[in-house]
Amino acid sequence: MVKEQSKVERFKIGIDVGGTFTDLILYDKITRESNIVKVPTTTKNPERAIVNALCDLCKDPEQIALINHATTIATNALLTQTRLARTALITNHGFRDVLEIGRQRRPELYNLYTNRPQPLVQRKNRFTVHGRIQADGKEIDPLHDHEANEITKIIVDRKFESVAIAFLNSYINDSHEKKMKEILLNKNFGGTISCSSEVNREYKEYERTSTTVVNAVLSPLISTYLRNLKTNLENSGVQAPIYAMNSDGGMNTLLYASNFPISVIESGPAAGVLASQNLANNLSIKKVLTFDMGGTTAKAGAVIDGECDISYEFEVAGRTHSGQSIKGSGYSVRYPFIDLSEVSAGGGTIAWVDEGDELRVGPNSAGSEPGPAAYRKGGKKPTVTDANIILGRINPNHLLGGKMLIYSDLAAQSVKVIAERLGMNLKDTAEGIIKLVNLNMSKAIMTVSVERGRDPRDYTLIAFGGAGPIHCCDLAEELEINHIIVPTHAGIFSAYGLLVANITRTFSLPVLSTNSVLEPYFNEARKIAINSMKKEGFESYRLKEYADARYKGQSFELRIPYEKSVDMKKRFSEKHKEIYGYSSNDEMEIVNVRVKAVINTSDLFRRKTEDIIEEVSIPTEYREALIRGMVTHVPIYSREELKLGTIGEGPSIIEEYDSTLVVNPRWKWKVYDYGIELKR
């Protein structure tokens, strides 16, 4: 617990709400020490777990200087199709079905029984109005006021909670969208309104419309959640500013997140990659693969030369295959995301037997409620966590420092059901579950490495999440990786990422030009950024600039860092060759220019301890465990008792409050202040 010393703003708080656990980390700016807590997520009322955990962690909330927050609420709402707002779409006459027509992508080309996702707005709730803006921004048909007023009356009478407005070419001329919004407000529409020119001011009418609709269906849910969170924290004595993490790894105000909930769809996973980026930069590691395994999913990402992979187009609530998003199976969103590969492979992922009597793992998860069978919260189905308990890889008396009770007999009962059906013994079945989930997760890592022209053997693997360190050696061996870092408090490492995040805002300007002189476009984008930041009260910030480039005739772009003195065509061609294996002499086209404003709020980092004395520690106990197919008495170490410089080798198990590290044979490990390094 933190002791009161003085009424000063000394604490920074990071809060990561996951599908299974809610993680909090408190950083004391005076002592430069951290305290952590991990509690089960209260799915129906997430802010309750946050407030209760925060009150336990900090007895004097008046000393809190800053709270940074990440959540999976938006993602889960889209995945489960629950709690989404009843939304109307207003678009141009003749474009009522743009959501269903899309890009004519089939999720699985040779699957005759595949189903596309149902549109988030039913056809009966889509309305069209006459009026047209040309591609060059000129108005050729004014918005028909009488139609707009009739539509507004229907929307008000039918009590829609949210409205999405998406007109053709509004990214160049938004006058029709502004007028439609004004009519809605004048007719006392009380719900939320999302205009495509505000949500995604970029060309491509389907993607812009889809992004606006996703924003609209999430707006009431996210704004209500953030408002309740702020109120509950204030009632608990918190007076500090509260920020929400964007999907691109930056922080933003709660007001911005409420207005643009698409910005927080992937906020939780982004925090973990950001923490890895911070650690890699401070250790001067140029090539990093990140592996985050929690209770519900496993995520893989990459940090190259200090920069995270960023994507500007993403499909939410879609299906994945081998870690790769299946195009056309979800809802298109154009917004900056940290590019991740995600699979349904977490501690709560359920193992089952199919009709052909083959063992399967996932995609369904037990989550935190009811959770794995061993939690004794009502879960009966076997999970990855239950399998690890049976194999002795997880100590049933140590989860959350012993605060969370684990029942090994219930884990055994759940796995026994499928073991009998398979005609296998209990431990062989549990080992089979682990092998299958490892196979799924290795494919996710291959997606961000091998499939993008990167050799994983040249990379360091940073493994975190509550379950990540248990599986990291298995995955590293599968991919021939020889260097692993498991950060201190790996189970709450994503929450640590919230502490090192800066406030950011990204502004884009559509260009669609082959003109090689880009400075005039960036001057205009800078003005937009500067005026917006000034309006929001931000004074001190730096600007980072990028261009979305492609060869003329292509449909998709690459993000290229912009510098006035650099040959952008050469830089683009080099990037294109790196990713696709070739470059061309074709003309380069700039689609968008982007300016990212960064406000430094983080002074927190981890340094590598130099010249520490190596020493061998005595295990706290020995336990029978199955590691790499061998049952042996494995030395067990308590992470809290290991001094800096402590060395050891596998097989061994290192237990921490929030995670467990399983070290395979032939791996050697050493303790540093930032975590444990493993090499072979």
- Inform me whether the pLDDT recorded for 503 exceeds 70: yes
Helix axes 408-422, 426-448, angle to 10 degrees: 90
Q: Token pair 């008495």 is at which residue?
A: 633
Decide: helix, strand or coil at residue 636.
strand
Task: Report the distance separating Cα 255 and Cα 460, nearest Å.
Answer: 38
Which phi and psi (to 5°) does residue 226 adopt? -65, -35
**Percentage of residues in the chain with pLDDT exceeding 90?**
59
User: 318 with 337: CB under 8 angstroms?
Assistant: no
Contacts of 360 (CB under 8 A, 6+ apart): 351, 352, 353, 354, 436
Helix axes 46-57, 205-235, angle to 10 degrees: 50
Q: Place 602 in a pLDDT band, splitting at 50, 70 and 90.
A: low
How many other CB atoms are found less than 10 A from the CB of residue 464? Answer: 32
User: 261 with 164: CB under 8 angstroms?
Assistant: no
Enter the tokens of residue 219. Answer: 């707006």
Q: Any idea which architecture 267-345+437-499 has in CATH?
A: 2-Layer Sandwich (3.30)
How many other CB atoms are found less than 10 A from the CB of residue 87? Answer: 27
Q: Among 99-113, 226-240, 495-509, 562-576, which stretch is predicted with the lowest mean pLDDT?
A: 99-113
Q: Among 1-5, 12-16, 506-510, which stretch is predicted with the lowest mean pLDDT?
A: 1-5
Q: What is the mean pLDDT of the chain?
A: 89
Q: Among 40-49, 325-334, 433-442, which stretch is predicted with the lowest mean pLDDT?
A: 325-334
For domain 79-222, the question of CATH label 3.40.50 is answered with: yes
Category of 453 on φ-ψ map: left (φ > 0), alpha (ψ -120 to 50) or beta: left
User: 323 with 341: CB under 8 angstroms?
Assistant: yes
What mean pLDDT comes out for the span 632-645?
Answer: 92
Enter the tokens of residue 60. Answer: 């004097």
Could you please report the per-residue DSSP string of 536-595?
TT--S-EEEEEEEEEETT-S--EEEE--TTS-HHHHHHHHHHHHHS----SPEEEEEEEE
Enter the tokens of residue 407. Answer: 């029942």
Decide: helix, strand or coil at residue 31.
coil
What residue type is assigned to position 302 of the chain?
A
User: 374 with 393: CB under 8 angstroms?
Assistant: no
β-strand pairing of 359-365 with 349-353: antiparallel
Contacts of 671 (CB under 8 A, 6+ apart): 642, 643, 644, 645, 646, 647
Domains of the chain: which residue ranges? 1-61, 79-222, 267-345+437-499, 349-436, 513-599, 615-662
What mean pLDDT comes out for the span 662-668?
Answer: 96
How many other CB atoms are found less than 10 A from the CB of residue 67? Answer: 24
Alpha helices in 25-144 (DSSP H): 46-57, 73-80, 98-101
Enter the tokens of residue 281. Answer: 């930069």
Give the pLDDT confidence score for residue 113 in this predicted structure.
75
Give the pLDDT confidence score for residue 2 in this predicted structure.
43
Q: Place 327 in a pLDDT band, splitting at 50, 70 and 90.
A: low
Q: Place 233 in a pLDDT band, splitting at 50, 70 and 90.
A: very high
